Amino acid sequence: MLADFIGISLPEVQTYDGGRSQLYLECIFPLMLVEQKKGWSGIQAAMPLQFQIKDVRKRAIEFVLALDSYDLAQRRLQIEKEKSDLRREWGIIINHLRDKAKIIGCKFSDLPADPVPAWPPEIYPSLWFIETEGDVPLQKKLHALRSELLVLENSKIPSVQEDADRLNAQLREKSDDLAALNLAISEMELSFSSDRADRSRLEAQIANLNEDIAHHNDLIRLRRMGSTEKLTISSGHCPTCHQEIQDVLLPQDEDYNALSIEESLSFLKGQRGTFQAMQKELVASISDKVARLDKYRAKAAAIRSEIRTIKSALITDARLPSEAALERRVWLRSEIARLSSTSDEISVMLDSMEDVTARWADVLTKEMKLPTGLISPSDSRKLMALKDSVCEQLVKYGLKSFDPAEFDISPDSYLPIYGNFDLSFDMSASDLIRLIWAYLLGLLEVARTFPNNHTGFVFFDEPQQQNVKDLSFSALLQRAYLAKKFNQQVVVSISKLPLDFITIIPETERHLIDINDKWMLIPE
C-alpha cells in the first residue's frame, strides 16, 4: 500500500452508520496537495465524502497535527463501542430471561433493562406468576402446588362415585373461572388495541417534534454562520415600494413576547422528552399485556381441558378410580418439575450477569478517567503555532478582506475563523487563495517543531489563481523556499514565472522542469 511506502499508519475512524473505517490517504492529502480543477475553491475542497466518515475534515486535521484530541476522540469512540457491545449483550440476556419467564407464564419485577455497575443490585429481580386474581411470587406458587401434591399423595385415589360431589362442584367452579377468564381476555384485548393506537399517535407526534427540532437547529446554525440580516419584509414593510404590509388578518392590539429560537427549541425538546417517557411506559404496558394475554389464553385452554376431563370422569363407571383425581396428580408433578427446572435455569442466567456488570463497571471507570476538556495544553500550543504561522503569512501575502491579526483557529473544526464564522464565506476570491496557501504551509511549519503525522511534502498546482498579484505569489515562493532547511519539500507547478523568480530562489537551489509549457518548480 502507498501508506506503508510513505510510512504512515492509517487510523480507524467512525462512519456515519456507526461502523469503522480507515482514514484513507485520499482524506489526508487535501491538506498537502492542491490540484487546479477543484482544490482552490476552499481548504480541503477536494475531500472525498464517499467513505461516509464522520467529521472527516476534522479527523484529517487531527491526524496530520497528531492532536491529543484525536487520541481522545478515538478513546471515546472505543469506550462508546464497548458500551454499545455490552448493552447489546445485556439486552440479549434480558430477552432470554423474559422469554424463559414467558414460557412458564411468569413475568419479571425489577429486572434492569440497561446494564448496572454492580451485581446483585440493591433490589434483586424476582419472578411473578401471572394470575387473573392477582400475580403471586413464583416460589409462593411452587409452595402451594407442592403442598397440594403432598396432600393428594398422602390420601387414596377416590372412585368416581366417591368423588362425584367434588367433581360436580369443581365443574361449576371451572365453568365460572372460564367465563371470568374469557371476559378478562376480551377486556385485555380492547385495552391492548387502545394502547397500540396510542403508541402510533405518540410515534407520529415524536416524529413531528423531531422535524421541528431539526428545523430550529438549522435556524440556529444559519444564524451562527452569519444569517443575521434584518429583512424589511420581517418588519412589516415591502422591500420594493416600502409600503406597510399587514401580514395578519386580525388586529394585533396586544403586544406579546414571542419565544426566541433557543427558547422554542428548549420547549420542543421538553415536549419530546415527555412524549418519549410516555412512549416508554406505553411500550412496557403493551409488553405486559401481551404476556398476560398469552397467559390467560393458555390458562383458558387448560381450564377447557380440565372441564372435558371432569365431564368424562362423571360418565365413567362409578366403581373405577376418578380419572380427574389421577390427572390432577400427574399435572401437579409435571407443573412443579417444569416451573422448578425453568426457575433454576433463570437463576443461573441471572448469576451470569455478574460478568457483564463487572465489564460495564470497568468501562464506566475508564470513561470517568477521560479528560473533561476538549483541547489539551499540547493541542493549544500546536493550534497557537498554526495561528501565528498563518497570520504572519497572510500579512506578507497582502490579505485585504480583513485584518489578519483578528483571525483565529476554531477549537472545534481547527479551520480559520473570523468572528466565529468560517472565513471562506466572507472574503474575496483572491484572498481565499492566499488563505489556502497560508493554512497548508502553516501545517507544514507546525510539523517542524511539534510531533506530527505530516508527510513533509506540499504540492500546489497553479497556485496563482483568481489573478493573485505577482507580489503575493513571490511572497509565497519565498515562504515555501524555507522548507528546504527543515528537510521538507514544496513543489509548485505554474504556467507563468514571476519576474523576480531568479532573485527569489537561487538557480543552484531549485530544479525547474518544463512540461508542455508548464513549469514544475522543485527545490534541490
Helix crossing, 377-397 with 68-103: angle to 10°? 130
Q: Answer whether residue 230 shows pLDDT above 60.
A: no
Residue 182 C-alpha cell reads as 374469557
DSSP state letters, 437-474? HHHHHHHHHHTTTS-----SEEEEES---TT--HHHHH
Write down the number of H helices and E strands in the chain: 12, 13
- pLDDT for the residue numbered 317: 59
- Closest by Cα among 386, 434, 376 to 65: 386
Residue 294 falls in which region: left (phi positive, over 0), alpha (psi -120 to 50) or beta: alpha
Condensed to tens digits (0 to 9), the pLDDT of residues 276-294 reads: 888 888 888 888 888 888 8
Identify which of 179, 143, 180, 172 has the alpha carbon closest to the alpha carbon of residue 335. 143
> Mean pLDDT over residues 56-83, rounded?
87
The yes-or-no verdict on residue 228 having pLDDT over 60 is: no
Q: If you average pLDDT over each of 30-34, 39-43, 247-251, 476-480, which comes out highest?
A: 30-34
Position 514 confidence tier, pLDDT thresholds 50, 70, 90: low
33-34/457-461 β-pairing: parallel
Kindly indicate the confidence band of residue 357, based on its pLDDT and cuts at 50, 70 and 90. Answer: very high
pLDDT at 233: 44
What angle separates helix 323-368 from helix 68-103, to the nearest 10 degrees?
170
| 103-154 confidence digits (pLDDT tens) | 888 888 888 988 999 888 888 899 988 887 788 899 998 999 999 888 888 8
Q: Specify whether the CB–CB gap between 426 and 478 falls below 8 A.
A: no
pLDDT recorded at residue 458: 93
Whether 171 and 310 have beta carbons less than 8 Å apart is answered as yes
In angstroms, the CA 215 to CA 209 distance is 10
The strand ranges marked E within 39-118 are 106-109
pLDDT at 414 over 60: yes
Inter-residue contact 514 to 496 (CB < 8 Å)? no
List, edge to edge, every strand of the sheet that includes 457-461.
33-34, 457-461, 489-494, 518-523, 510-515
Percent of the chain with pLDDT over 70: 82
- State residue 29's pLDDT score: 93
**CA quadruple 177, 137, 111, 122: dihedral positive or negative?**
positive
With 80 as the cut, is the pLDDT of residue 187 above it?
yes
Residue 68's pLDDT is what?
Answer: 85
Per mean pLDDT, which of 256-260, 264-268, 375-379 is the most reliable? Answer: 264-268
When pLDDT is averaged across residues 369-383 and rounded to a whole number, the result is: 82
* pLDDT for position 71: 78
d(CA 441, CA 424): 17
Q: What is the mean pLDDT of residues 334-349?
A: 90
81-107: average pLDDT: 90
Rounded to 10°, the helix 470-481/429-446 angle is 10
